[in-house]
Chain A
C-alpha cells in the first residue's frame, strides 16, 4: 500500500499536519466533544438531584445517570481527546507522517463501538453499577465488553503513537531529542499501556463472570486491580494535561522549559512511581496491612506528588521567564499582570494549573494519607477532589487547547470570540467553587453517590447538620454555573467546527514530503552558561513563581495539619 506523505503547513503557526493524521485528530476530537455533551447533560440531571430542594430524578434514573456521567466523562471524553493529543504530539510536533493510519482508524472505530455498547448497557437500565462496577454487584455483559473494546481501541492508538515515534526517528524528521511536550505524551502513553493491561486483567474475568463462565470474583481483589487501572488512568490525564500546559506556554509565550532536565525528570517520576498508587483507594479496606498501604501510597504517590509540584513550578516559571525576557521584568508580578487574560487559551490553562494544584493536589494528598482517609473515605469530598483534578485540571486544559486547535487544526474562524473569553472563567471558577463546596459537604459526612440525604420515609434517618444542606445547595449552584460554562464551550466548538467560515489562505497547498521533513539543524547553543542573562530578581530568574509556590506550600502545610488535628478528635480506633 502506498504511504500517504501529503502534508499541509498551518500558515499562522508553521505547524505541519500529515493529512491522515489530521483527519484522525479531527475524528477523535469530535467524538470527545460529543461525549462531553452527553456527559454534561447527565451532569445537569445528577447535580439537580443532589440539590435536595430540587431532587429532580427518581432513584433509578439518578443512579443510571451517575453511572453514565462517570463513564462518558472520565472515560470517553478524556480518552478520545487524549488520543487526538497523542497524534498531535507525535505526527504534528515531530513533522512526521503518522504510522499506519489504517490501523489507527480500526482503533477509532473500536472505541466508538465500545462506547456505544457500554452506553447501551447503561441506558437499558441493567447496568447502574457506577463506572467502578465493583464486583460482586454485576452489570450487563455488554457493559464490560464495551469497556474492553474501547480499551483495545485506545491501546491501538497508543501503539500507533509509538510507531510514529519510530518512523520519525528512522526518517530523521527532527534533530536531537523529541520535544518536551512529546516526551510528556510518551509518558502518558507508557502509563496508558500499563493501565490498559490492568484494566484487561480485571475486566476480562469480570466479563466472563457476568456471562457465567467464572465462578467468583473476590471483592478485594477486584478493588485492588481495578484501581491499578482506575488510578493510573488518572496519571495519564495528569501527564497529558501537564503536556498541554507546556504546549500552551510554548504556543502563547514562546516559553521554553526552565530546564529540560528537571521537567523531563519529573515526567519520568510519573512513570516510575505510580504503579501501586491504587493503594490510596484502599486505605479503608480490610485485608491489607498498614505497611502495604503506607509503602504503596508513599513511595508511589509522594514521588509522583513531587513530580507534580515540580511541574506546577516549572510551567509558570517558564512563562515568567518568557514574559520577563519580553520586557515585563518589573517587580514580582508584572509578568503575570500583563499576561493575555483575555485569551481563552492562556486563561483556561492558567486556571487549570492553579485549580489543579491548590484544590485537586492538596485535597488529593490529604485523602491519600492512610489515617486521614478515615474521615473522608466515600464522602462527597472525593468527587469534590476529582472534579478539581480531572475537570478543572484536565478538562479545562483540553478546552483551552481546543481554542487553539479550531483555527489551526479545523481551519475555522472561532465563533463568539467574546463568549470564548469568558468561558474559562465561568467554567473554571464555577467548577472550582463546585469542588470546594463538595469538599465542605464531605467534611460534614455527606456521602457520595447518594440519592437522598434527607432519608425521607426511613425508620432511622440521620439528620445532617444545616451546614451540610447549605453546602449541597451551593454545590448545585456552582455546578449550574459550570454547566453553563460547559455549554458555552460546546456551542463555540460545535458551532465553529461545523458552521463557521473557513480560514482561507491564498497560497495554501498540500506539500509532498519524500522522507519526512527535517528542520534545519539547530545552531549549536553557545550560551549554556548565559542562560536567561538579565531577567529576574535577586539571582532568581522567576521570583514571582517562587513566591506563588511558597504560598502554595504554606496552604498545603496548613491544610494538611488541620486535618490531622481534626482526625485527633474522632473516636480512638485501633
Chain B
C-alpha cells in the first residue's frame, strides 16, 4: 500500500506507467543525452580541452629539462630567493616544476602565442591553479603533463596550489607574466 510495505499488486511490474512519470523520464533522458554530446562536441568545436598528453618520467629527468630551459631563457631573477624569470620562445616546451612548497621557475609568456607547458610534481600531489583565469589542473609526481596553452590577455597572473600538500600548502604561490 505504501513504500514501506510490500507492493499491493503482486505483479507490480505490469502496472502501467503514469503519464507524469513517463513524460519526465523521456525529457530527463533527452537532457542527459544532450549533456553527454556536449563533451565530444567541445572537443571538436571548443577551444578549452585537455589533450591528455602525458609521459611517465622521473623527477631527475624532468628537473634536468627544466634546468636546461632556465639556463637558456632566464631574463632576470625576482624576490629574495632569486627565482629565475624565464621567457621561452613561442611554441617551445616550457617546464614548470611543482614541489614542496613552490612553483619554479617564474614564466613570462607572450599573449596570443602558444606554448607547450609541462607540469609535474617532484614529490606529492599539487594543484596548478591559474588566477584570476581560474584554470585548475591536478599535478602528479611521475607524470609529465603537457598542455598547449595560449594566453589571451597581457597581465600579471598568479599560480597558486589548490591541492592540499602539507603544512605549508597555503604558501605555495607564484607569478606568471603575460606580455
Contact = CB atoms under 8 A, between A and B. Distances in A.
Interface in A89-141: 93, 128, 130, 134, 136-137
Nearest to B13: A261
6 contacts: A246-B3, A287-B145, A294-B40, A313-B21, A462-B131, A571-B149
Given A260-B13, A455-B170, A571 B150 contact: yes
A206 interface: no
A461 B31 CA distance: 42
A572 B130 CA distance: 13
Contacts of A12: none
B89 interface: no
A63 B167 contact: yes
Nearest to B150: A572
B167 to A, nearest CB: 6
A356 to B, nearest CB: 16
Interface in B119-152: 119, 123-125, 127, 129-138, 140-145, 147-152
B4 interface: yes
A528 B43 CA distance: 49
A460 B79 contact: yes
Nearest to A522: B8
Interface string A273-306: 0000000001011111110011001100011011
Contacts of B4: 93, 179-181, 246-247, 250-251
A286 B152 contact: no
A571 B25 contact: no
A545 B20 contact: yes
Contacts of B75: none
B74 interface: no
Nearest to B35: A302
A465 interface: yes
B120 to A, nearest CB: 8
Interface stretch (A79-87, A329-337, A339-347, A368-376): A368-376
A309 B137 contact: no
Interface in A163-183: 174-181
A-B pairs, top 7 by smallest CB distance, nearest first, are: A286-B145, A462-B158, A447-B162, A286-B54, A250-B2, A260-B12, A377-B136
Interface residues of B, number: 94
Interface string A375-392: 111110000000000000
Interface of A: 59-60, 63, 93, 128, 130, 134, 136-137, 174-181, 218-220, 223, 246-247, 249-251, 254-263, 282, 284-290, 293-294, 297-298, 302-303, 305-306, 309-310, 313-314, 317-318, 365, 369-371, 374-379, 443-445, 447-453, 455, 457-462, 464-465, 522, 524-525, 528-529, 531, 539-543, 545-546, 549, 553, 556-557, 560, 564, 567-568, 570-574
Contacts of A220: 140, 142-143
A528 B135 contact: no
A60 B4 CA distance: 47
A371 B42 contact: yes
Given A247-B3, A573-B48, A310 B28 contact: yes
Nearest to A256: B2
A374 B137 contact: yes
A553 B10 CA distance: 34
A447 B126 CA distance: 12
B12 A219 contact: no
Given A177-B7, A180-B3, A543 B20 contact: yes
